[in-house]
Amino acid sequence: MSGARIIRNPDLTVGADNKQRWNQPAHRRHGFHNAHHLFRRTLMVRSRNVLVLEPPKGRLPDQPARLQDLLNHPAFSALCCIQGNRIVMEAAADDFTTTTPHSIQSVSKLHIHLIVGQLLEQGLMSLEAKVADYLPDIGTGYAQATVQSLLDMAVSNDFSEDYSDPQSDCYTEEVALGWRLPADDLAETTLVDFTNAITGFTPPVPQEYAAYKSANTDVLTRIAAAVSPRPLALHIEDIADAAGYEGAFHISRSPDGFPAFSGGGCLSARDLARFGLLFARAGRDISGKPFANAAFIVHSLSRDAAKLTPPKDWLQYSNHLMTDGRFVGHAGYGGQFLMVDTLSGTSCAFLSVLENEAGYDDAYIGLVAQTLRELCDQ
């Protein structure tokens, strides 16, 4: 149309700080609260049946002393704790609710734990196999890495994930996750091309701390897609049905159609807590039927693995989940944490949006994790 004004999508265009608008500090809260509308492309799934939640019964549990500080923190969005099918505690910021979708970022990685566990149970994957056994075209950064090392965040290569460095590879990865547009109208990088381009693999050595790399999840996503007889979208539907969401699960997709399990999920606080109950029920679905690989979950909690960096070093990173043997869950960029107490069967989902430049604060995430552990314990 002659004379029409055309601009690049302002939410997805990268600014001078190498962040797209929705992830810039001044816009990040709006971005995380509306990510399911802002991503370049998403898959949306609803559950066939809904786990109905009952309101709190009797006196609420005593709150950890630090919990109120977190609820008053400007980053806070929502909290929901469920035990069985009963809400134990929930709260939301004035500009949010416990039933509104929110970016859960790397908490999405728990989907890979569930999917890989099922594929292992079916004999379709091996933990000792190397990536090149499943992806012959993979680049040198991952070809000789084992599936186990990817699951444990124990791969050493050139991929960098430093949220304080705007030029870190994790931001370049966002084009392949469907979170931003490339510069200068270049073609959007596919997840295949992005992971194939990673180089610099070095043989593994024993390490005290996990070498956290979201690209490991991207490679595991490709492997799962290659070996599974069913599309990954159907695995997502299965997980939604097993959890019994009342709302929708949204996940961004790469230009070549892969779900962004490394961080593209969006769920409400209530539905994220419902998802956590899959681990509280030892892998059983909402009707009590076996769903996940229960033996894989139990083994992941009991085995030795590298620790997270302080102040979260009471947790290990094992088979794509964080655990101390009793508590299991995962953290997410921006201020997310899902904490599940396998002893009491309590699942606590915490959503928040840090508005500092990096969008991350290890001390804050450590405080969230410790507070949720105390809340579950009480």
pLDDT tens profile 358-367: 999 999 999 9
Task: For each of the domains in the chain, give its residue range(s) and CATH number, in order of start.
Answer: 21-377 (3.40.710.10)
pLDDT in tens, 101-114: 999 999 999 999 99
The pTM (predicted TM-score) of the whole model is: 0.96
pLDDT at site 58: 66
pLDDT in tens, 6-44: 999 999 999 878 899 999 999 999 999 999 999 999 999
pLDDT at site 164: 87
The radius of gyration of the chain's CA atoms, rounded to the nearest angstrom, is 20
Report the distance separating Cα 302 and Cα 318, nearest Å. 9
Output the CA torsion 241→247→252→253 (10° steps): 40
Contact present, 195 and 86 (Cβ < 8 Å): no
- Judge whether residue 1 has pLDDT over 60: no
Instruction: Measure the N-to-C terminal CA separation of the chain; round to a whole number of Å.
Output: 64
Report the distance separating Cα 350 and Cα 207, nearest Å. 30
pLDDT at site 186: 87
Report the distance separating Cα 159 and Cα 322, nearest Å. 21
- Judge whether residue 345 has pLDDT over 60: yes
Q: How far is CA 301 from CA 97, 282, 284, in A?
A: 32, 11, 16
Percent of the chain with pLDDT over 70: 98
Q: Could you identify the residue written with the tokens 């076996």? A: 290
| Chain mean position to CA 296 | 19
Give the mean pLDDT of 343-351.
Answer: 97
Sign of the Cα torsion 114, 120, 124, 130 reads: positive
Strand partners, 82: 87, 347
- Judge whether residue 184 has pLDDT over 90: no
DSSP secondary structure of 206-240: --SB----HHHHHHHHHHHHHH-SS-HHHHHHHHH
| Chain mean position to CA 2 | 45
Report the distance separating Cα 298 and Cα 289, nearest Å. 17
Sign of the Cα torsion 268, 273, 276, 282 reads: negative
Contact present, 289 and 343 (Cβ < 8 Å): no
Contact present, 240 and 47 (Cβ < 8 Å): yes
Q: Are strands 321-323 and 102-105 parallel, antiparallel or unpaired?
A: unpaired
